[in-house]
């Protein structure tokens, strides 16, 4: 089980992981012959700096403030699309919002635990669930390609806060 749960829900200092994430993004782009431009890097950082998924227009606002100029939607959506293509960012469909992927090179399922209270999202990668899905798909002759699993509930810190 691969998880960034403690990072998201318990640790305070995320800075280290962000630096590592940027390094990883850079080398991934290098390897894929893709350009990690200033704009893409900025959007990556904005999304990564938040443990809460951001909507595209929130990213737009932050980007605008950071660069001191107005930003139009396509600018943001294109950068996000690029980052999603590399698996560096994932969309949480039920929130229309985007979150950094902590282990983009994993081929396993995206599996998000979303706290209804604090809105933070942790990603878990479970081979057991993966295998179970494959098994069911196999029985039904469904060729699965991609899956998105969103679990809503209450995280440990919000539970104990009450």
Partner DNA sequence: TCTTATAATGTTATATTATAACATATTAAT
Partner DNA sequence: ATTAATATGTTATAATATAACATTATAAGA
Binders of DNA in range 9-38 (CB under 7 A):
34-35, 37-38
Interacting residues with Zn ion (CB under 5 A) = 101, 110, 115, 117-118, 155, 158
Kindly tell me which of 19 and 156 has the beta carbon lying closer to its own copies.
Answer: 156
Among positions 122, 123, 138, 161, the unique one binding its own copies when judged by CB under 8 A: 122
- How big is the chain, counted in residues? 162
Q: How many CB atoms lie within 10 A of CB 56?
A: 17
Is 142 one of the binding residues for its own copies (CB under 8 A)? yes
For the chain, report the end-to-end CA distance as a whole number of angstroms.
29
Helix (H) or strand (E) holding 122: strand 121-125
Residue 19 Cβ vs its own copies, minimum distance, rounded to whole Å: 25
Helix axes 73-85, 38-48, angle to 10 degrees: 80
Cα separation, 160 vs 162, whole angstroms = 5
Structural contact between residues 120 and 8, judged by C-beta atoms closer than 8 angstroms: yes
What binding mask, one character per residue, do residues 36-55 give for DNA by CB under 7 A, x or -?
Answer: -xxxx--------------x
Measured from the CB of residue 111, what is the shortest distance to its own copies in angstroms? 8
Binding stretches for its own copies (CB under 8 A): 1, 3, 5, 9, 93-94, 113, 115-116, 122, 124, 126, 128-129, 132-133, 136-137, 139-156, 159
């Amino acid at each position: 089980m691969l998880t960034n749960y403690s990072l998201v829900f318990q640790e305070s200092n995320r800075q280290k992981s962000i630096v590592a994430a940027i390094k990883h993004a850079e080398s991934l782009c290098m390897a894929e012959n893709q350009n990690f431009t200033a704009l893409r890097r900025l959007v990556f950082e904005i999304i990564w700096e938040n443990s809460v998924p951001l909507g595209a227009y929130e990213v737009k606002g932050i980007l605008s403030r950071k660069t001191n100029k107005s930003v139009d939607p396509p600018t943001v959506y294109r950068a996000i699309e690029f980052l999603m293509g590399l698996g560096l960012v994932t969309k949480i469909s039920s929130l229309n919002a985007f979150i950094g992927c902590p282990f983009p090179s994993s081929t396993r399922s995206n599996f998000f635990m979303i706290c209804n209270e604090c809105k933070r999202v942790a990603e878990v990668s479970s081979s057991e669930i993966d295998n179970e899905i494959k098994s069911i798909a196999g029985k039904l002759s469904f060729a699965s390609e991609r899956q998105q699993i969103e679990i809503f509930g209450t995280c440990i810190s919000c539970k104990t806060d009450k």
